[in-house]
Structure 1
Amino acid sequence: MGYEEFKIEGRHPVMEAFRSGRTIDKLFVLDGCEDGPVKSIIRAAKKQDTYIRFVKKERLDQLSETHQHQGVIAMAAAYSYSTVEDILAIAREKNEEPFIFLLDGIEDPHNLGAIIRTANLAGAHGVIIPKHRAVGLTGVVAKTSAGALNYTPVAKVANLGQTIDQLKKEGLWFVCGHMGGDMMYRLNLKGPIGLVVGNEGEGVSRLVREKCDYIASIPMKGDIDSLNASVAAGILAYEIVRQRMK
């Protein structure tokens, strides 16, 4: 199932990676490169819904380890992704109400790994991450998850807001952790639930926040104003666990 994330450089190796069905998180292409092989690679990337970035030669040279990138570098995922449907199916198989983590733009791989680890231990059925402005399943994420990636499915979606709308039709409701919400201990967090956790800097984006049914805040007594994203996710997740156990 798992393999280390690594850079694949050069036209032939990158094309082979797409052909073999490898999960490619990002493709970097030399801006303005229009020849046949590169066009074929871009077509393959679009088919797999890979995030494509057109960059200047200096950027590719910086990224390159082989110095023979021929205008293309692909970042392969360390693990393959599941689908939202797979996650719901796991809840059904276990005869449990769905409990899903949704992460809004987590960019730090250590945070993502730690959150996947927490999701596994809290009994969540899966984790959903967005395709853009967020880290994918890199080797560092796999390592930090301490093996949880072997058991907890991670789905990658193009639009978190649309995914929330879809899941609402499946009967889920959503709580997001954000400053200035209702005290988490006062909320009823039972039933089929999606826990939305925001990124390290801005928290949950406004568009996603507006789709949530509850805004939960964690009581803060100290002198600094915020918790690390993975710690916040753990605190909120275990309040959900506590309420589900009753």
Structure 2
Amino acid sequence: TPPASARKGHKKNRVANAQAKQAAARRPAPRRGGVKGTSEMVVGRNPVYEALRDGVPATTLYVQQYIDNDERVRDALKLAGERGNINLMEAPRPELDRMTNGLNHQGLVLQVPPYEYAHPEDLTAAAYDNNEDPLIVALDGVTDPRNLGAIVRSVSAFGGHGVVVPERRA
């Protein structure tokens, strides 16, 4: 017979198993779905239309099969077609749900390359080059896109040189 410390029900093993479960719970869940790689998604009829209208670089426009063809959908398809370098793909709703991790895509998803952020040192150097004291705002825990937009607009209005956005939670 194995010693007590080697048995499943021994206190030492129960504590180790509980600690392992807690550690696993703290680990971020693996991302399911989504387009693999480093691309990002713009989801929803109005955001996709606005991104295409404003010339945001894009690689693929996904359109839900059997989508209601309203004015925004037609305009988005027209803009994507005029640009000529955007792939148009038709996909079933479950596939779009998977790609967007369940966000409300309204039948339109635009795949865009990742945004290239400036390094904070470049922002401070640019401010010093203009004989200005740098004003950079660092964000933490901002999750609402409207709040993010309001902060960026406020920084711009106050003559700020940039906003540091963390990789997660902003």
Q: Which has the higher contact order (CA 8 A, sep 6+)?
A: 2
Structure with more of its chain in strand, by fraction: 1
- Name the TM-score, length of structure 2 as normaliser: 0.42
- Name the TM-score, length of structure 1 as normaliser: 0.29
